[in-house]
Amino acid sequence: MELKRGVTFSDIKQRLDAVGQSHLLRFHEDLDAASQRGLLDQIAGIELERLPRLVEQYVKRKQAFAIPSDLEPAPCYARDAKTWNRADYRKKGEDLLRAGKIAAFTVAGGQGTRLGFDGPKGTFFGTAITKKPLFRCLAEWILAAQKRFGTIIPWYVMTSPLNHAETVAFFQHHGYFGLSERDVMFFSQGVLPSLDMATGNLLLAEKGMVATNPDGHGGSLRALWTSGAIDDMMRRGVEHLSYVQIDNPLARVIDPVFIGLHASAPDSSAEMSSKMVAKTDPGEKVGVFCRASGKVQVIEYSDLPRDKTEERNATGRLRFNAGSIAIHLISVDFVARLNAGDELSLPLHRAEKKVPYVDSSTGQTIQPPMANAVKLEAFVFDALPLCRSSIVYETDRIDEFAPIKNADGNDSPATCRDTQTERAARWLEAIGVSVPRKPDGKADCVIEVSPTTAWEADDLRNVSLPKSIERGAELAL
């Protein structure tokens, strides 16, 4: 939200009146001068004129998703690489890394409400034994890649106005996790106002502050531009961004094969590419890569009709099985193109949530017992159909997808820990180390491997290891 200096009370009042939102000024007179200024600046940064349409579209009606009639599964570069040459693409990716053309990009502006952790999610622990924070898990990938390829990989970290200061302070406190301070850039994404679910009204979080939420990971495509991050990349000669989310400590932050495919596969426009894993079952709640009118797109699990979700091909595999794991490569030129000329506008997605608010008749702060507001967010994968042509690359779930979304159950610290151990166990077994397993096949120990030690099984050959791991052992490599 941009601050516009010099706005007057009457300007703002007039604009609010025009869209029926003048209750936001109800407590203006009770505020001190600085808070009055802050409130007016905040309101000035909201696109008020767009509100009636948003309310109509997302609050009064829950817009139904129209399934394209020619919807088909998106083609993928399969893991077994029978039809493409993995070694060639790896080499191409490595060349781009050595030439300094690749930056890492992490979106870390989310609110992490499901996890219920008080603080930026990147400060939450991501490994089971050493309890490394998620930011460190990703930083170690970057450190390892810099060393491996003798290069600098700048890291762009998107925060939100709600967690920016705390995030930067965390990096400072931890010495940027061994990275060079000048190669780590932070910028804040935009926010959108949260809307009262019953009326569509804007809400006051405090008497002098409108309730807002970060504008979604899709907001990154604009924030990269408005923050000057894209300019910085152009100055450095960076051509592609490796996009990962903060909540997946297994993500291969830098993956030469994927970079090579994105940049040079014949059917890639090298604008935006994606990774997928095969869905575990029809009900798994992940978006699915599809294609319609020749364009790759992600359809959210809730939007894909049941018959399509459950449809299987002759081999019994789900036909629409390409689950999105929110890992992309995005070219700097693509982001620049989207932002140049016409305003970049991605569709918005609605979520219902509990938002504390100031009651405009009593001035009391209300803690709602259930969802009372609509939060609108843009999703980064909605930029895929804007590419001239986009590719999807299949990867192994155990190898790189264990997000921490919830405090327990699915996608929790416990499942993430199990996946990290399973990945490490497979690597150890691949080089001949025996790993104890329980009757259900799960490893009977806890193992974590830093990417600075190994990022695939073969790297462990250079590490001094026992012939077998003891049952119940904890091993941090």
Give the interface segment with ligand UTP, choosing from 12-20, 40-48, 105-113, 295-303 (CB under 6 A).
105-113
Among 112, 154, 260, 323, binds ligand UTP (CB under 6 A): 112
Nearer CB in complex with ligand UTP: 112/200: 112
d(CA 289, CA 45): 35
Residues binding ligand UTP: number (CB under 6 A): 22
Residue 353: its H or E element: strand 348-353
For ligand UTP, the binding residue among 74, 137, 158, 265 (CB under 6 A) is: 158
Residue span binding ligand UTP (CB under 6 A) among the ranges 79-87, 109-117, 199-207, 230-238: 109-117
Residue 172 C-beta: closest distance to ligand UTP, Å:
20
Q: Does residue 132 bind ligand UTP (CB under 6 A)?
A: no
Residue with CB nearest ligand UTP? 110
| Tokens read off for 168 | 């930067």
Segment near ligand UTP (CB under 6 A); pick from 16-24, 108-116, 273-281, 314-322:
108-116
Judged by CB, which is closer to ligand UTP: 77, or 124? 124
In sequence order, the 6+-apart residues with CB closer than 8 A to the CB of 44 are 3, 4, 7, 11, 12
d(CA 189, CA 379): 13
Does position 208 interact with ligand UTP (CB under 6 A)? The reply is no
The mark string for 318-357 relative to ligand UTP (x by CB under 6 A, - otherwise) is ----------------------------------------
Residues in 423-452 at the binding interface with ligand UTP, rule: CB under 6 A: none
Of residues 176, 184, 126, 119, the one with CA closest to residue 153: 184
| Burial class of residue 300 (count of CB atoms within 10 Å of its CB; 0-12, 13-18, 19+) | middle
Which one, 110 or 260, has the nearer CB to ligand UTP?
Answer: 110
- Please report how many Cα atoms fall inside a 13 Å half-sphere around the Cα of residue 262, on the Cβ side: 31
8 A C-beta contact, residue 420 and residue 447: yes
- By CB under 6 A, the residues from 162 to 191 that bind ligand UTP are 189
The only residue of 92, 101, 121, 417 in contact with ligand UTP, by rule CB under 6 A: 121
Binding flag, residue 405, ligand UTP (CB under 6 A): yes
Half-sphere exposure in the Cβ direction for 86 (13 Å, CA): 10
| 40 vs 348 by CB, closer to ligand UTP | 348
Residues 462, 453 contacting (CB under 8 angstroms): no
Contact status: 110 vs ligand UTP (CB under 6 A): yes
- What gap in Å lies between CA 143 and CA 337, rounded to an integer? 30
Within 147-255, strands assigned E span: 155-159, 184-188, 191-193, 195-196, 204-206, 209-210, 212-214, 240-245
Site string for ligand UTP, 219-258 (x = CB under 6 A): x-------------------------xxx-----------
Which of 107, 230, 383, 449 binds ligand UTP (CB under 6 A)? It is: 107
Distance in angstroms (rounded) separating the CA atoms of residues 320 and 68: 14
CB of 250 to ligand UTP, least distance (A): 14
Strand 295-299 to 288-292 pairing? antiparallel
**Paired sense of beta strands 155-159 and 102-107, if any:** parallel
Minimal distance in Å, beta carbon 217 to ligand UTP? 4
Of 93, 126, 133, 214, the one binding ligand UTP by CB under 6 A: 214
Q: Are 120 and 170 in contact (CB under 8 A)?
A: yes
Shortest Å distance, C-beta 286 to ligand UTP: 12
Which one, of 252, 311, 253, lies nearest residue 279 by Cα?
A: 311
Residue 375 engages ligand UTP in binding (rule: CB under 6 A)? no
* Exposure string over 369-392, b if 16+ CB within 10 A, otherwise e: eeebbbbbbbbbbbbbbbbebbbb
Interface with ligand UTP in residues 41-100 (CB under 6 A): none
Which parts of 272-311 interact with ligand UTP (CB under 6 A)?
Answer: none
Task: Choose, by CB under 6 A, the member of 377, 382, 448, 459 that binds ligand UTP.
Answer: 377
Residues contributing to the site for ligand UTP (CB under 6 A): 107-114, 121, 158, 160, 189, 214-217, 219, 245-247, 377, 405
